[in-house]
Amino acid sequence: MSQDTGIRRIVSIDQFRGYAVLAMFVVNYCGYLKIAPAFLKHHNTYFSYADSIMPAFIFAVGMSFRLTVLRELAKPDSSSWRRRYIKRSIALVCTSVIIYGLGSSFSSWSEIDWNSFGYFVAKFLKADLWEVLAIIGVTQMLVLPWISRSLGVRVIVLIACLVLHTLLSYGFNFAFVQGRPNILDQWLGTTGARAWDGGFWGVISWCVPMLAGSIAYDVVRKDLAPPRQISLLLMIGLGLAGLGYSLSCLTTLYPVDRQASSRPFADSPVIPSLQDAGDTAVGLAEPPFFPPPEGRPWNYWMMSKRIVSAPFVLFGSGFCFLTYACFVLICDRWNRSWSVFATFGRNPLLAYVIHHWVLVAMMPLFPVDSPWPYALLGFVIFLGITFLSVRHFEKQNVFIRL
C-alpha cells in the first residue's frame, strides 16, 4: 500500500482534545455542587454547555482514530491493525471498570444465587458499565469496520446509526433507559433500573460524534488553506446543528401540561399519538441551552444526553465542528496554542484517570453546599494537582493513548 504523505501532526487536534479533557474536568467538579451554574450541569431534557463536553471528547477520539488508522494503513505490513484496536478498545472498557467498579455488590454470600447473579449481570450491562471510557471503547469497536472507509460510506453509517437508534427507542429503548416498563426489561428482570448516557444501546448514537470527528479530520488533513478548512467546518457544523434543532422541534407536538407537579412521560415518546398532537402543528422548540417548559412530557425529540437522542447527537456533533473551527483558526491559522491544552491533549487517558482519583480524594473536603469561594479554592487545588501530575509523567515520557 502506498505511503500517505498527507498524514501529519495537526496542532489544532491536540489543542481541541486538551480543551475537551479540561472542560470535562470542570463539569465533573461542578456537577455535584449546588452553587454551580445550570449551564455546567447535565439536565437530560435540553442541551447545556455541560452536555457539549462528552460529544466533544468522542469527536476528538474520532479525529485521532481516523488519523492513526490511516497511519497504520500506510505501513508496509498493516494486516493486524484491526486486532490491535480491538485489544485497545477492550483495555479501555477494563480501565473503566477498574476506575468505577461494577455498580452493585453483594453484602453476604447468602445473597448470591442464579437469580440475583443474573440480575447483577443484566443491570451491569444495562446501566452500570457505561461510563465514558467504556462508551469510547465499545463505540470504537462498532466504528472500526468503517473508520478507514470513504466519506460516503461513513456518512451512510452515520445516518444508519441515527435511524437504528430511533427505531430501537420507538420499540423499547426510551422506556428501557428511563426504567419504565418495556419488553426487554421484562425479559431481563431489570424494570425500574435507569441507565445514563444511553445505556447499552446508547453506543449506537455515540457512533455519530465519533464518525463526525473522522470527517473533521478529513477536512483538516486535506491540502487546503486554513480559511477553506474553516469554512468547510463551519458549513458542516451549522448544517448538523440546524438539523438537530429542526428534529428537536418535533417535541412541540407534545402539549405542555401546566398543572403537572412533575415532568410526565409521553405515552408515545417517539411518534406522538393523535390524542397528544391533536391539531397542533410543529412549532419552534426552545433553542439549545434553554430549558423546555416544566409540563412538557419527556419524549425522544428532546436533546437528551440520558437517551442520547438523535437531536442531541446531531446538534452536539455540529457544535463540535463549530468549536473545532475556532481551534483551526487560532492554532493552525494564527499559530497560537496553550500549554495546558497541549499537556492534557497529548495524554488524555492518563489525565482522565488521575483527575478521577484526585476528585474522589477531594470530594469529602468539599461538600455539595460549599460556598463559591471555598468551592473555587477546591477547583484550583483539584486542577493544579491533576495538571502537575500529568505534566510530571509527560516529562518522564509516559504517555497512555486513547
pLDDT at 148 over 90: yes
| 86 φ/ψ angles, rounded to the nearest 5 degrees | -65, -45
Most confident range, picked from 12-21, 222-231, 391-400: 12-21
> What pLDDT is attached to residue 107?
82
Write down the pLDDT at residue 3: 38
Average pLDDT of 143-168?
96
pLDDT exceeds 70 at position 4: no
CA distance 377 to 297: 39
What is the percent of the chain where pLDDT is above 70? 94
pLDDT digits (tens, 9 = 90+) for 175-185: 999 999 999 99
pLDDT of residue 201 exceeding 70: yes
pLDDT in tens, 263-282: 788 889 999 876 555 556 67
Please tell me the predicted confidence (pLDDT) of residue 213. 98
What pLDDT score was predicted for residue 223?
A: 79
pLDDT of 366: 92
Residues 118-129: tens digit of each pLDDT: 899 999 999 999
Mean residue pLDDT of the chain comes to 90
Please indicate, yes or no, whether the overall pTM of this predicted structure exceeds 0.75. yes
| Mean per-residue pLDDT, 87-105 | 91
Give the chain as a 3 state SS string: CCCCCCCCCCHHHHHHHHHHHHHHHHHHHHCCCCCCCHHHCCCCCCCCCHHHHHHHHHHHHHHHHHHHHHHHHCCCCCCCHHHHHHHHHHHHHHHHHHHHCCCCCCCCHHHCCHHHHHHHHHHHHHHHCCCHHHHHHHHHHHHCCCCCCCHHHHHHHHHHHHHHHHHHHHHHHHHHHHCCCCHHHHHHCCCCCCCCCCHHHHHHHHHHHHHHHHHHHHHHHCCCCHHHHHHHHHHHHHHHHHHHHHHHHHHHHCCCCCCCCCCCECCCCCCCCHHHHCCCCCCCCCCCCCCCCCCCCECCCCCCCCCCCHHHHHHHHHHHHHHHHHHHHHHHHCCCCCHHHHHHHHCHHHHHHHHHHHHHHHHHHCCCCCCHHHHHHHHHHHHHHHHHHHHHHHHCCCCCCC
pLDDT grade, residue 2 (50/70/90)? very low
Q: Is residue 144 predicted with pLDDT exceeding 60?
A: yes
- Across the range 26-30, mean pLDDT stands at 93
Whether 261 shows a pLDDT value over 70: the answer reads: no
- Is residue 299 a contact partner of residue 269, using CB atoms and an 8 Å limit? yes
Which is higher by pLDDT, 281 or 199? Answer: 199
What is the pLDDT, as a whole number, of residue 53?
96
The band of 99, judged by pLDDT with boundaries at 50, 70 and 90, is: very high
In the block, residue with C-alpha cell 490491535: 84
Compute the average pLDDT of residues 286-312: 93
Phi-psi region of 194 (alpha: psi -120 to 50; beta: other; left: phi over 0): beta
